[in-house]
Structure 1
Amino acid sequence: MVIDDRLSLDDVAELLGKSKETIRRWDNAGKLTAFREPMSNYRYYKRSQLDIFDEVKAMNIHTTNQDSKPANEYSVLELFAGAGGLAIGMEQAGLKCVALNEIDKYAAATLRANRPNWNVLEGDIRNISFKELANQIDVVTGGFPCQAFSYAGKRFGFQDARGTLFYEFARTVQETQPKICIGENVKGLQNHDGGRTLKTMIAILDEIGYRVIDPKVLKAIYYNVPQKRERLILVGVRKDIDIDFNYPAPSKEILNLSEALKKGKLFDCDVPDSPGTKYPASKRKVLELVPPGGYWRNLPLDIQKEYMQKSFFLGGGKTGMARRISWDEPSLTLTCSPAQKQTERCHPDETRPFTVREYARIQTFPDEWKFAGPVSAQYKQIGNAVPVNLGKAIGQSIVAFLNEVNCNEKKKINA
C-alpha cells in the first residue's frame, strides 16, 4: 500500500513556493481547504487539491540550468570541505580545486583516496595561513558551522568575530582576495539569534571588501537531487567588481527516490550493495507497521502514543518520525545518523535505514566515490555533505559570473 496522497502543511508550502502563513490564510478563506484528523486535529491536504496551481502543473517541465564552460582555468579554495560533495560539484562545473581544508581525519582521508591530486590541508583551520595563495584564487567556498556570537559590549566587526569559524572563513577571504566567496549553511541560519548572526556575517564581509548578494535558500529538489534538503547560500563579490552573481535557475522536474536507487535518469545501474546500520528490535517492530510514504500517524493509536510519548500531545506534523519513504517521492533530508529517533528515513520495501551507498546516491555522489573510516563515520560524512548536483549548479553559476568578469577585464585591456 502506498500512502502518497496526503501532504503536510510544510509539503504544500514547499511545492507551491509559498509561506506556511499564506497556506493557512488560504485555508481560512476557503481557497485551499485542509482536511483534519478527528482525534488530533492534524491538518493535511490531498495532492489532487493542488492541480489547480500552475506551480504543480509545471512540475514536470524541465528548465535547463545555465551550462557555461569556463573561459579560463578558474581556481577554488574550499574550506570545511567534508567528504567533497561541494568540491565534486565544482569540479563537474569546470572549476579547479587548488586546495581543500578539512579537520576530520576520515573526511580528509576520503578526499585523498578519491582525488590524490588534490591538495588536502588536514587540520584545524585556525592553525593554517592562506597568505601564500593571495591573489591566486578566484573562488573561496566553505560550509562554515553556524555559531552564536557574543555581542556584549562589541560593535561586532571582523576582529570581534575571533574565536568563531566564520571569522576563519572571512580571514581566509581577506588573505586570498578571491573575486567571489561562497558560504553555505543550514536554512536555520536565517533566523539564528533573531537574524543577528547572519546580519553580522554580512557586515563582516562588507568590512573586508565584499558586497553581499541577497542570501538565498536553495532547495536541492530543484537541482536534480532526489532529497528535500535546503541550504542557505551567502555570496560575497569583491567590491572592485561591478558584476552581480546570479543564483542557478531551478528545474521544475522533481526526482524521486526511485531515480536515486534504481537505474534511471541519475544513474545507469541500480545502487550497489554496501554496509549499513540496523534498527533496534523495538523500532523495527514499530516501523514494520508503517506503509511506504507513511509515518507515525499511520500506526495504531495505542502504538502512536507509546512510540511518541509526550510528543503525541504536542500537536504538529512531526512527519520525520517513524517515516518510511516511498519510491515515488524525494527523500527527506538525510541526517548524520540514520537510525536516530525523530528522523527515521526507512527504506520503502525493507524495514531498515538506507545503506551507505544508498545514502550517497540520495546525495548524488558518484558510485565510484568511496568513503573512509567506519560505517558511522561514512554516514556522518555523507549526511553533512552538500549534494553534488546542487554543488554543480552553484558551480555553473560561478563559472558564468567569472566568464563575465574575465570578458570585462579583456575589454579594459584592449580599450
Structure 2
Amino acid sequence: MEKRNIRTQSNLAERLGITKNQLSVILSEKSNPLKSNYQKLCDVLEVEPMDIIIPKAKLDKAQKDKVVSESQLDDVDVRYIKGKRPYHSVELFAGAGGLALGLEMAGFQAEGLVEIDKYAAQTLRQNRPEWNVIEDDIIKVSESGIRNYLPKNCEIDFVSGGYPCQAFSYAGHKLGLDDVRGTMFFYFAKIIKDLNPKVFLAENVKGLTTHDNGKTLQTMLGIYESMNYHVTWNILKANNYGVAQKRERVVIIGIRNDIDIPYRLPKEYDYKPVLRDVLQNVPESIGEKYPEKKRKVLELVPAGGYWRDLPEDIAKEYMGKSYYSGGGRTGMARRISWDEPSLTLTCSPAQKQTERCHPEETRPFNVREYARIQSFPDEWSFSGSMGQQYKQIGNAVPVEFAKAVGLSIIDVLNKAES
C-alpha cells in the first residue's frame, strides 16, 4: 500500500470509491470473492480458482518458458561465407537428401549417410552415386561401430541428422546417455560420442520444444552438455532462408568444448519467396487427384481461403464432426494463394485436415511442385511410387534452409581452423 502512497484503510476505501465498512467486508478472512456457482464449479472439478481464471494457453506458455528457453544468439550474413576446405560430415536419418544436398552446397563433403528406408536410400544413390549411402538400421550401425562404415582414418568434422522425437522414462532429475537407451536420440547421441566431431546439428519438428512439457528437449540438451559440447537451440523459419513455405524447425547446434567459438544464427534473408516465385515453369510430373465430390467442394474456395469461405451447409457436410470442434481448423478445404508461402508440406498432399490445394487448378500440388516448394532442384529425382515420393519430399529438410544453416556452421569451422 505504501508504494501507492496509501497509508490507511480509509485511504484505500476512498481510492476504490467504497465505504470503509465495505472494504472491511472485502478484507475479512470469511469473504469469498467468487460467486457461489463459480465456487461449486471449482469444487466439482477439483481445481483452484486461478486454474479457471487464467487461460490454459497462457499457463502452458508460462510452463514452457519456465522449462526451457531459446538461445539468445547473434547472427551472421552467410551469403559471403566459404569453407577454407571441404569439411567431412556424416548424416544420420538422411531421408531423401534435403539436408545433405543443402550441406553439400554449403561446403560439406559427405563421408557417410545412414538411411533405413529403401526408397529414400535409392533416391540418394541415383542422385549422388559417389555418396557412401549406408542403407541400414541406425541401431545396428551404432552397435557395430559407425567407423566401420566410413573411410579409414577420416576425421569427421561434423555430424547432422533429424531423429524422431520420443519421450523418455524419467527416473530422476538428471539423466545420462544410458538412461535413454532404446530411443533414436540415444543412437544419434552415441554416434556423436563415438565420432567426437567439432560440431553437430540436430534438427527436429517445432513440437519438440513442448514435448512432454519441454522435459524431452531439456534432457537432450543436458545429455549433449555431459558429452562435452556447448549447446544452443532455436526455432527457425524456412521462409526466412529462401524457401516458399511456412515450415518451422528446431535447430540444435553443439560445439565441442575445446573450441571456444560462439555459434551465430544465419541472418534472415531480405528475400522471402511466395508460391508465385517458385512455381513457374515447373516440369510435368505425376500427382495426386481429388475425388470428384471433394473437387466440387474445393472449386468453391478462393485462393488464400479455407472452409469458412464455403456455404454453411456444404461446410457442415464436408467437415462432419470437425465443424463443431474447437480451434480454427484452417487447414481444412485450404487453397493456397500465389502471394503467400505454402503451409508446411505433409507426407500426403490431400489429407482433409491439412489441405494444400493449388492456387488456380483444383488439385493438390504434384510431385515436382512439392519438390520446388521444398527448394529441391528440378534435376533431383525421387525413387518409388507416387506415395513414396510425396512422403520423401514432405519429410525432407528444405534444401535452401539446410544450406543457410550449413553455412553458419562453416563459419564456426573456419574460425576453428585459424
Answer yes or no: is 1:310 the counterpart of 2:321.
Answer: yes
Q: What's 2:207 paired with?
A: 188
Give the drift of 1:187: 0.3
Q: Distance in 1 between matches of 2:138 and 2:398?
A: 23
The Cα RMSD (Å) is 1.6
Q: What's 1:216 paired with?
A: 234
Identify the match of residue 191 of structure 2 among 162, 166, 172: 172
Q: What secondary structure does 1:227 align onto?
A: coil
Matches within 5 A, 1:110-121: 110-121=123-134
Structure 2 residue identity aligned to 1:237: I
The answer (yes or no) to whether the contact 2:98–2:376 under 8 Å persists in 1 is yes
Structure 1 residue identity aligned to 2:90: L
Answer yes or no: is 1:145 the counterpart of 2:200.
Answer: no
Give the length in aligned residue pairs: 339
Measured against aligned partners, the alpha-carbon deviations of 1:115-165 in whole angstroms (never above 9, x if no partner) come to: 000000001000012135587100000011111112246842100111000
Q: What's 1:40 paired with?
A: none
Q: Distance in 1 between matches of 2:77 and 2:85?
A: 23
Q: What secondary structure does 2:159 align onto?
A: strand
Give the structure-1-normalised TM-score: 0.79
Q: What secondary structure does 2:251 align onto?
A: strand
Larger Rg: 2
- Go from structure 1 to structure 2 and tell me whether the alpha carbon gap of 1:206 and 1:135 turns closer, same or farther (over 3 Å shift): farther
Measured against aligned partners, the alpha-carbon deviations of 1:292-312 in whole angstroms (never above 9, x if no partner) come to: 111101000111112222222
Q: Distance in 2 between matches of 1:369 and 1:96?
A: 18
Answer yes or no: is 1:243 the counterpart of 2:261.
Answer: yes
Measured against aligned partners, the alpha-carbon deviations of 1:159-180 in whole angstroms (never above 9, x if no partner) come to: 0111000001100100000000
The answer (yes or no) to whether the contact 2:174–2:219 under 8 Å persists in 1 is no
Matches within 5 A, 1:224-373: 224-262=242-280, 270-373=281-384
Q: Distance in 1 between matches of 2:367 and 2:251?
A: 27
Q: Distance in 1 between matches of 2:173 and 2:122?
A: 40
Gaps of 5+ in 2: 1-56, 59-75
- Go from structure 1 to structure 2 and tell me whether the alpha carbon gap of 1:178 and 1:237 turns closer, same or farther (over 3 Å shift): same
Q: Distance in 1 between matches of 2:247 and 2:338?
A: 17
The answer (yes or no) to whether the contact 1:148–1:197 under 8 Å persists in 2 is yes
Measured against aligned partners, the alpha-carbon deviations of 1:55-113 in whole angstroms (never above 9, x if no partner) come to: xxxxxxxx964431111221110000000001110011111111100010000000000
Structure 2 residue identity aligned to 1:75: H
Give the structure-2-normalised TM-score: 0.79
Q: What's 1:81 paired with?
A: 94
Q: What secondary structure does 1:228 align onto?
A: coil
Identify the match of residue 125 of structure 1 among 138, 162, 171: 138
The answer (yes or no) to whether the contact 1:65–1:250 under 8 Å persists in 2 is no
Q: What secondary structure does 2:353 align onto?
A: coil
Q: Distance in 2 between matches of 1:388 and 1:66?
A: 15
- When structure 1 is superposed on structure 2, of 250-259 and 397-406 the one drifting more is 250-259
Answer yes or no: is 1:68 the counterpart of 2:81.
Answer: yes
Give the drift of 1:282: 2.1
Give the drift of 1:191: 0.5
Q: What secondary structure does 1:212 align onto?
A: strand
Q: What secondary structure does 1:395 align onto?
A: helix
Matches within 5 A, 1:388-399: 388-399=399-410
